[in-house]
Structure 1
Amino acid sequence: MKFETGMENNTSELCDGGECESCPTDPNLLIEFKGAIHALGGKWKLEILFTLMNGGVRFGAMRRALVPITQHMLTNQLRELERDGLVSRKVLAEKPLQVAYELTDSAWGLAPAFRELLAWSKIYGTHRHAEAGETTLGAGLA
């Protein structure tokens, strides 16, 4: 079965087949790509970033928004996002102590990529799930 992604005609934009800095076979490009994926990879990181797209959120409110995330997991993921420069932590001058998180400019730079992922999901996500269901159904009938 041939699977088309719609990206087949986009390969010439990066490279004309010769040696170039943006060629997908460039090992440095792969290292940069892995770094970006590592910064976003994690069980809850994308959900956290998506939650923060509406503005700063206090820790407790974020935890309630991301049920069933544990306090420990949320703390760890926020620390990693902060270390990678995607989230900033602000201690609020309130009693009891309150902490809020917000996206950095670096994270806001991901907004176009998130929009593209949502568009991709609308086009291919449902289609992919429907095909998986047909495959499972077909296997059960065989």
Structure 2
Amino acid sequence: FSARAIEAEAWTAAHQGCVSSMTEILRTAPDSLDCRFVFAQAARGDLIAPGILERRIKDLGAAIAGLLHALDPEVVILGGSIAEAGAALFEPLQREVDWRVKGLLKRSVPLLPNGVADTSGVVGAAGLAHLAARRGAV
């Protein structure tokens, strides 16, 4: 699950000619059809965007629940452009995750947005480069 998954489904719906504001934006400003746009259109009452978000949130909820069962963390922090959706993402996602883990974990694990500027890609790449250097692979 990612911003790209939301965008891909929105593009598919728009290309199939679904009645949606996304169809129009695809013709006039295709670069604007991104994750933020889909969340904004869902809030404005678009007919297609809410279904896209519901499906992707269920997918992300399933993935997070699997990680919670395997790793049992105290908190899950989400970053990237998907986390910028705020309550529109985190509230339904928290409900989905809680529903999926309530039987085994018996507690809710908070889902939180990354509290700093999104440099996760750079930090991750730097970490991998550091590991490779320590192993002599670089």
Q: What TM-score, normalized by structure 2, do the two folds share?
A: 0.29
- Higher share of residues assigned helix: 2
Structure having the larger proportion of residues in strand:
1
Larger radius of gyration: 1
TM-score, scaled relative to structure 1? 0.28
- Flag the structure with more relative contact order, 1 or 2, with Cα contacts below 8 A and sequence separation at least 6: 2
